[in-house]
Amino acid sequence: MPATPQAWVEVDLDAYRANVRALAARAPTAQLMAVVKADAYGHGLVPVARAAREAGAGWLGVATLEEALALRAGGDEGPLLCWLAAPGADFAAAARCDIEVTASSAEQLAEILAADAVPRIQLKVDTGLGRNGAFGDQWGELVSAAVDAAAAGARLTGVWSHLACADEPDHPANDAQEARFRDAVDDLRAAGLDPGLRHLANSAALLTRPSAHFDLVRAGIATYGLPPDPAMPHDVPLTPVMTLRARLAAVKRVPAGQGVSYGYQHVTERETTLGLVPIGYGDGVHRAATGRAEAWVRGRRVAVVGTICMDQMVVDLGDLPAERGDVVTLFGPGGAGEPTAVEWAQASGTIAYEVVTGLGGRIHLTHTDDPGRSR
């Protein structure tokens, strides 16, 4: 990273470890899988995975085989599951690297078994989300194929599914999906198969639905200190892990009536100081937050004004004695009063998941790490 970067993300690995431990304590009868797909939700795949293991996560979870192979290349050797593969995936590489894969249909199971070396396989049932997994009659076909595969020596190690409405704890779909999952487990047992590791709960169900914990819980967004939904109540202490900062590239005094940025969507009401922040939608900051977001400069919240551009945005500093090079915090944990990723999501009309995973471009990624502090 340059000595003085224009914009950077700070990832607090101590806070991440503390979050993982707090979540594991909420599900004491289950193992915990830390989900680190999508570059650990934008937080940095290998450093975050290492911190998850240090905090006691028995499993790591990723979407794609490429992500799983990157973890192995980065030195991870523990239990690891991936679950999303189009036809042509290199399942033999998964076997060589001791990566567990997911079969979501009889057809996909056959493709996995055709690999030169068969990896350990978990079965996915679609209990009502309508995405991946065997649904309806497909599940019976997958169970039958799994019986034949097991007889031929395949290593079947688990069964799982994913909830659609867990961030709404009272939604009737939660009961229906859990019941369907239990039925799917019974189907495997009735066919003479050991279901192995059973898992259904995501972050929201981990926090609010103990009946869905089973043998393992998959903690994703909550490990990064962000709520699955801001309106969902829970009492687990979690700290947001990511802080987004930049340095003011320019500061200028302007009169009342001055238009700001493209289209003059903002016109100053009085004489004020404007600060130029060298970050924009080319770096993953949502243009939709135009006129609604805030930032933190010199211990005070300031408005983001004018249209957010590809490379830059403008903040109204009022009469703050700001200077070029001053640090601007777009979002952080919120403890000092700065905006949070949840607030930026609300300003952008989206969810915090998208705010943190979408950052990139010219933003530098850094990690603060003091393992002794949180142990």
Annotated catalytic residue within 16, 252, 262, 353: 262
The three state secondary structure string of the chain is CCCCCCEEEEEEHHHHHHHHHHHHHHCCCCEEEEECHHHHHHCCHHHHHHHHHHCCCCEEEECCHHHHHHHHHCCCCCCEEECCCCCCCCHHHHHHCCCEEEECCHHHHHHHHCCCCCCCEEEEECCCCCCCCECCHHHHHHHHHHHHHHHCCCCEEEEECCCCCCCCCCCHHHHHHHHHHHHHHHHHHHCCCCCCEEECCCHHHHHHCHHHCCCEEEECHHHHCCCCCCCCCCCCCCCCCEEEEEECCEEEEECCCCEECHHHCEECCCCEEEEEECCCHHHCCCHHHCCCCEEEECCEEEEEECCCCCCCEEEEEECCCCCCCCEEEEECCCCCCCCCHHHHHHHHCCCHHHHHHCCCCCCEEEEECCHHHHC
252 is catalytic: no
Annotated catalytic residue within 37, 124, 224, 281: 37
224 is catalytic: no
Catalytic residue list? 37, 262
